[in-house]
A and B are shown apart, each in its own frame.
Chain A
Amino acid sequence: MLTRRSLSLLAASAFAALALPAQAQFRVEISGVGATQLPIAIAKFRDEERNTPSLSISAIVRADLERSGVFRGVDAPGALDENSQPAFTEWRSRAADALAAGSVSRLADGRFDIRYKLWDVVKGTMISGQSAAVEAGDLRLAAHRIADDIYEKLTGNKGVFSTRIAFVTKGGGRFTLRVADADGEGGQVAVNSAEPIISPAWSPDGKQLAYVSFDKQKAVVVTQEVATGTRREIANFRGSNSAPAWSPDGQTLAVTLSRDNGSQIYLIDRSGANVRRLTNSSAIDTEPVFAPDGRGLYFVSDRGGSPQIYRTSLSGGNAERITFGGNYNISPAISPDGRTMAYISRQGSAFRLYTLDLSSANAQPVALTDTSDDESPSFAPNGRLIIYASRAERRDVLMTTTLDGKIKARLLSTTADVREPTWGPFGR
């Protein structure tokens, strides 16, 4: 395992301003002393400027690694590729612990040959290498896969850079539901509407999105196959139908329905059949989220007088209150290992992202941000990052944060308002 350097060098430079191509702009904010990061040099890939002028594989890799919070990019001048024999003493003097370099070549059939190698600078050994032939449309994905390989080889944990996110945009009187890479780039429109779209949710196999559409002048739950666009109306009962959440086995959705007056939580098969009521209160019960073990459900209820987060077993019994700090706690998201809950808590007039350790009985909530309009937290499938919506410079923006709140990054630099992010599963 490589040694990690302290953050003292980075603290001196204060802000990790990166020179990136315009279509991959974001800003990483690092705060808090004591964070240790692994310095890595990602060299420009040989011929990437010439062969793929519209994007930079090396820049995408570097941005991915920095956004994870685990790595700090070190400048890598000079011409290197996967066949180089790096001068490790030189890289050590640049304070890099790891080095990656590669090349981008055009193949006769129009595809691109992407090759890369990863070296441990401290030990002076080669750790990993990859080569892949990809279509132009998969160039970004190839870069993300390299970033995943580097992340896994150096941390031992699975990377999330090749996963996808979905989010809603609002602009010019229109709404879209988009699917993009985990870095927010390469977005494609899944739904285009003149009416609001809210609460998108990925199916566990990553093939479908459930969401709430107002196209029929009321809230209706729809599921849609991402690849084909095939839609299915899952819940259009009397009143409002919303807050879809998939069970871990993908066979059931929990939804909020007002068909029996008031907002209550129901379970419904993925086909839309077999509706059965789950909660039974005279309060508002909404925002259901399955526990990763599939046996419990977290949800928001104001049965105690103000919205708080509860947990109930799917096999019956009373709901147990989980949140106690403050009088407004909503939008639960549960980490894949079931141990951490991210949620939004109102403090004064600010709505802020918090986490709570679910595995410890006396855990105190921890604020992850100091912004005031946070919404919609969602965990990355490796449980190490949270994506959420916030407001910056009077615009709705998407942010990622490490679980300790120390490394944050803002995704996308478009003029549309972006909201309702949800992180997709592993595997494309």
Chain B
Amino acid sequence: MNATHTLSIRGGLFAVAAAAALLAGCSSVKLDDVPVESRTATTAGGATGGTGSGSTSGAGQSGVTTVDLTKGAGSTGLTRVIYFDFDSYAVKDEYRGTIDSYAKALAADRKKRLMVEGHTDERGGREYNLALGQKRAEAVAKSLALLGATDAQVEAVSYGKERPAVQGNDEAAWAKNRRAELNYK
């Protein structure tokens, strides 16, 4: 058992990567910034930052979905991470594509189970932050449900401030810790 906990390395992530490769049909993964919608729904592409709405349609039967290994918390980047503003649990528009992809994947396979983990930055009390992290996770879960996932498929939990992604006492670190992580179980 690893004594050191690293956020990025979980057994489930490798299973996800394998599943994504299988479902994509063509097995090659491009490090392309533009995610392309595939007919067989897979995990989300790198729809963060300025790419806005994410997946495009009309790719036909040759679509390939990008799995961006460089984005997100942790070194492998396979955990999808949604970031939040200070004191907020509103899911920002820029994550719409991510949510959409996950919801579609869950809708396509009712046996899939997703854990949404909410986190906060280090400021403030532990229990209140646990509840704030819970609100973030529930906001994401609610968005997933609205887009096709069932309640049974998604569990929202919180780590509050107990598991920061980034150590540090400044806004740069805090911004990276105010997040929800999506992990298939």
| Chain A residues packing against B (C-beta within 8 Å) | 172-174, 194-196, 198-199, 214, 217-219, 238-240, 242-243, 256, 258, 261-263, 284, 286-287, 300, 302, 307, 328, 330-331, 344, 346, 349, 351, 375-376, 420
Interface size on B, residues (CB 8 A): 27
Say yes or no: A258-B115 contact (C-beta < 8 A), given A286-B127, A300-B127, A307-B128: no
**Shortest distance from the beta carbon of B166 to any chain A beta carbon, whole Å:** 16
- A158 vs chain B, min Cβ distance (A): 30
Q: 16 A-B pairs, CB-CB below 8 angstroms? A: A173-B2, A195-B5, A198-B126, A218-B158, A240-B134, A240-B158, A242-B130, A261-B138, A262-B138, A263-B134, A284-B132, A287-B127, A330-B127, A331-B127, A351-B125, A375-B126
Residues of chain B touching chain A, judged by Cβ–Cβ distance below 8 Å, are 1-5, 115, 123-128, 130-132, 134-135, 137-138, 155-160, 162-163
Q: Cα distance A217–B182 when bound, in Å?
A: 13
Query: Which A residues lie within 8 Å of B138 (CB)?
Result: 239, 258, 261-262
- Structural contact, A239 and B156, CB atoms closer than 8 A: yes
Interface centre among B125, B137, B157 (most CB of A within 10 A): B125
| Known contacts A239-B134, A239-B155: A194-B2 contact under CB 8 Å | yes
Highest count of chain B CB atoms <10 Å: which of A174, A218, A375, A420: A218
Question: Considering the complex of A and B, which 7 residue pairs feature the smallest CB-CB distances, nearest first?
Answer: A263-B131, A196-B162, A218-B157, A173-B4, A284-B131, A330-B125, A240-B158
Nearest Cβ in chain B — how far from A236, in angstroms?
11
- Residues of chain A with a CB closer than 8 A to B1's CB: 194
* Contact B158–A219 (Cβ < 8 Å): yes
State A284–B163 Cα separation when bound (angstroms).
21
Residue of A whose beta carbon sits closest to that of B159 = A214
The answer for the CA separation of A287 and B130 in the assembled complex, in Å, is 11
Looking at B115, B123, B132, B157, the one whose CB has the most chain A CB atoms below 10 A away is: B157
Residues of B within 8 A of A328 (CB): 124
| Partner of A420 from B126, B130, B158, B159 at Cβ < 8 Å | B126
Which chain A residues lie closer than 8 Å to B157 at the CB level?
217-219, 239-240
State A242–B130 Cα separation when bound (angstroms). 8
Interface secondary structure of A, over-half rule: loop
Q: What are the residues of chain A within 8 A of B137 when measuring CB–CB? A: 239
Structural contact, A238 and B131, CB atoms closer than 8 A:
no
Given contacts A239-B157, A242-B127, A330-B128, whether A174 and B3 have CB atoms under 8 Å apart is yes
CB–CB A256/B127 < 8 A? yes
Q: Which residues of B contact A331 (CB under 8 A)?
A: 125, 127
Q: How far is the CB of B19 from chain A (nearest CB, A)?
A: 20
Task: Give the Cβ gap from B93 to chain A, nearest Cβ, in Å.
Answer: 23
Q: How far is the CA of A214 from the CA of B128 in the complex (A)?
A: 16
Task: Give the residue of A218, A240, A262, A287 whose beta carbon is less than 8 angstroms from that of B125.
Answer: A287
Find chain B residues with CB under 8 A from A198 CB.
126-127, 130, 160, 162
Output the least CB separation between B89 and chain A (Å): 10
Q: Looking at the assembled complex, report how far the CB atom of B86 sits from the nearest CB atom of chain A, in whole angstroms.
A: 12
A237 to chain B, nearest CB (A): 11
Residues from chain A with Cβ under 8 Å of B127 in the complex: 198-199, 242-243, 256, 286-287, 300, 330-331
Shortest Cβ distance from residue A379 to the other chain B in the assembled complex, whole angstroms: 18
Shortest C-beta distance, A129 to chain B (Å), equals 46
The complex places the Cα of A172 from the Cα of B1 at a distance, in Å, of 14
